[in-house]
Amino acid sequence: MTKEEVRQAVLDIIATIAPDEDLSTINRDAPLREQAGLDSMDFLDIVMELRKRYNVDVPEKDYMELVSLNSSTNYLAPKMADK
C-alpha cells in the first residue's frame, strides 16, 4: 500500500468506529482522538481493526505512534507495504 492508501485505510476504520463524525476536516498533524471524538475503547477498536483487516499488530508500547493521522500513516506504511 502507498502512504495515501494507508492514510485512507485509517480513515475508513475511524469512519466505521465513529460513523457520525465528519472526517473531511481532519488535521493530519493534530491528535485523532480529539478531532474524531474517540475514547480509549474506540482507540482499541482501531488497533483491533488494523489487526483484523490488515494483519498488522500494534504493540501497546507503540500506541503513541498512532496519535495523529500523519504519525499513524508513517508508522503503519512499512507494516502495510505488502498489503
Q: For the domain that residue 24 is a member of, what is the CATH number?
A: 1.10.1200.10
Q: What single letter denotes the amino acid at residue 47?
A: V
Q: Give the angle 19-11-7 at the CA atoms, nearest 5°.
A: 175
pLDDT at site 83: 80
The range of the structural domain enclosing residue 27 comes to 3-80
pLDDT digits (tens, 9 = 90+) for 40-69: 999 999 999 999 999 999 999 999 999 999
Three-state secondary-structure class, residue 28: coil
Q: What single letter denotes the amino acid at residue 33?
A: R
Q: What is the pTM of this model?
A: 0.92
- Which runs of consecutive H residues, i.e. helices, occur in the chain? 3-17, 32-35, 40-54, 69-80
Q: Rounded mean pLDDT of the chain?
A: 95
Q: Please say if the pLDDT value at position 39 is more than 90.
A: yes
Number of domains into which the chain is organized: 1
State what percent of residues in the chain have pLDDT above 90. Answer: 93
State what percent of residues in the chain have pLDDT above 70. Answer: 100
